[in-house]
Structure 1
């Protein structure tokens, strides 16, 4: 199977989801190939990085592609796919991917499934995704087609497979004049960390009680070499920025350690962290759903347990 992963570049930087797309591509390609497509201006370094995970990297480079435009993206991708036919096209389920993927699928006359968290091509094509705001996980059997398009949830496919692919200049330039033009980039307020890339996450829930108590979690995270995140009530109260939210309406994370402090474990939150390698939960309620996914649990007050844990870590570190 020939699988193409369309890389995503934000503010001149290669988004980590680009590698995740290739991780999935390598999983399903069989005897075929995992190929990346990089679109932009001055993108050689990005192409070289992706070549470590792909069998081939197609570089589509032009000054007019410096800033994202859905019409130009679809135009150059169609030109490439007319010459190099894909079986599967993988695109990030980001704001831009969600915009141009349906248009691309229409032009390719291809079925599309969005926001997938699993893909099986061993017997037909079956995509896995959440529905009803994450309350149900379903398998979508996709009708047989020459090409399939999928948008992929970030933070799910992190198991890397190294490769040594070649970088090929596709020799493609935009052939259309877009109806809209780039004006300016209004950057969002910069976040301090990207929780999807963190190996250790100390996550706080409603049990933290007040914004001033976030310092306790930050102290613990610093000792562990991790970052602080939170459940939706914490973000809704403004105690942590939106980019720290874990869950269906936030980000999906798969750290080596997920330490949940005062998080009851609503379904929407659990779906965003359940695949963490090690989950430790501390909660006063012995019936809290978070204990159902945690490998280790402590039934207790976080304001008693966490300070004791901090003291012990300081003792160990000397």
Structure 2
């Protein structure tokens, strides 16, 4: 099976989701190939990085591709796929991927399934995704066809191994004049982090009680070398920005350590962090659902436990 992953370049960097797509591609390719497509201008360094995880990297390079344009992406990708037939095309479920993937699928006369968290090719093609705001997990069987397009949730397929493939210049240039023009890039504020890539997350819930108490979680995160995130009630209250939300309506995370402070553990939240390597929960309610997924749990007041943890960590670090 030929599985193609469309890489993303943002703010001059290769987005980590590009490697996640290749991790998924390698897990489902069977005796086939995992192939990456990188689009842009001056992209050789990104192609070489992708080649560590792909059997083959197709480089589509042109000055008109310096900045993302969905019309040009669909144009050059459809040109490539008319020559190199994919069985599966993987795209990040990002703002970009969600925009051009349906148009690409239409161009390829292919089905498209969005925001998947699982893909099985052992007996046909079966995609897994959430519906009804994360209340149900469903499997979708794709009918036999030439090509299928999937957008993949970020942070789900972080584990994989290096392959060591080749880089190929696709020799493709845009053949259309886009109707929209690039204006400017508005970069995120300094200090914003991508929690889906963090190794250590200190996450807070209603138990933090007030925005002023977020500082307590930040002290613990700083002592651990991690970042602060939160459950939906914290985000809805405006105590943390939207990009720090963990859960079905936020981001899926798989850190090495997930420390849940005052989080009861609603289903939507658990689905976004249950695959973390180590989960430690602190909650006053011994019946809190979060304890059902945590490897270690502390029944107690976070305002007593967290300062003690911070002091102990600082003592250990000297």
TM-score normalised per structure 2: 0.97
Q: Distance in 2 between matches of 1:63 and 1:268?
A: 43
Shift, 1:296, TM fit: 1.0
Mapped partners of 1:313, 1:13: distance in 2 = 33
Cα distance in 1 for partners of 2:193, 2:113 equals 30
Give the C-alpha shift of residue 193 in structure 1: 2.0
Q: Quick check: 243-252 or 36-45, which moved more?
A: 243-252
Q: Which moved more, 1:151-160 or 1:214-223?
A: 214-223
Residue 259 of structure 2 is matched in structure 1 by 259
Residue 191 (structure 1) shift: 4.0
**RMSD, aligned α-carbons:** 1.1
* 1:241-264 deviation digits (Å, cap 9, x = unpaired): 222111112111000110000011
Distance 2:311 2:67 in 1: 49
Q: Which residue of 2 aligns with 1:31?
A: 31
Q: Does residue 1:21 correspond to 2:21, yes or no? A: yes
Per-residue CA deviation, residues 170-227 of structure 1 (Å, 9 max, x unaligned), is: 0100001111111222333344322111111111111111122111111111121211
Between the aligned partners of 1:48 and 1:93, the Cα distance in structure 2 is: 23
Question: Structure 2 vs 1, CA of residues 225 and 109 (structure 1 numbering), >3 Å: closer, same or farther?
Answer: same
- Tell me what 2:298 maps to: 298
Q: CA separation in 2, counterparts of 1:38 and 1:293?
A: 38
Structure 2 distance, partners of 1:289, 1:266, is 7
Please give the alpha-carbon distance, in whole angstroms, between the structure 2 residues aligned to 1:315 and 1:203. 23
Kindly tell me the number of residue pairs found equivalent between the two proteins.
318
Is 1:51 matched up with 2:51? Answer: yes
| CA distance in 2 between partners of 1:191 and 1:117 (Å) | 28
Distance in 1 between the 2:179 and 2:74 partners? 13
| Whole-Å separation in 2 of the counterparts to 1:122 and 1:273 | 26
Which residue of structure 1 lines up, in the alignment, with residue 227 of structure 2?
Answer: 227
Q: Structure 1 runs of 4+ off > 3 angstroms?
A: none
If the length of structure 1 is used for normalisation, what is the TM-score?
Answer: 0.97
Asked if 1:241 corresponds to 2:241, the answer is yes
The aligned counterpart of 1:8 is 8
CA distance in structure 2 between the partners assigned to 1:136 and 1:191 by the alignment: 35
Partner of 1:102: 102
Q: Does 1:63 align with 2:63?
A: yes
Task: Give the match for residue 92 of structure 1.
Answer: 92
Aligned-partner Cα distance in 2 for 1:94–1:190: 21
Contact 1:56 1:166 in 2 (8 A): yes
Secondary structure in structure 1 of the residue aligned to 2:294: coil
Is contact 1:191-1:243 (8 Å) kept? no
CA contact (8 A) 1:21 1:91 kept: yes
Do the aligned residues in 2 keep the contact of 1:58 with 1:167 (CA within 8 Å)? yes
**What is the CA–CA distance in structure 2 between the aligned matches of 1:285 and 1:307, rounded to whole Å?**
19
- Consecutive unaligned residues of structure 1, counting only runs of 5 or more, are none
Name the CA distance, whole Å, in 1 between partners of 2:195 and 2:100. Answer: 26
1:234 aligned counterpart, secondary structure: helix
The SS at the match of 2:126 is strand
> 1:129 is matched with which residue?
129
Q: Secondary structure at the match of 2:162?
A: coil
Aligned to 2:138: 138
Counterparts of residues 102-181 of structure 1 (less than 5 Å): 102-181=102-181
CA contact 1:51–1:165 (8 Å) conserved in 2? yes
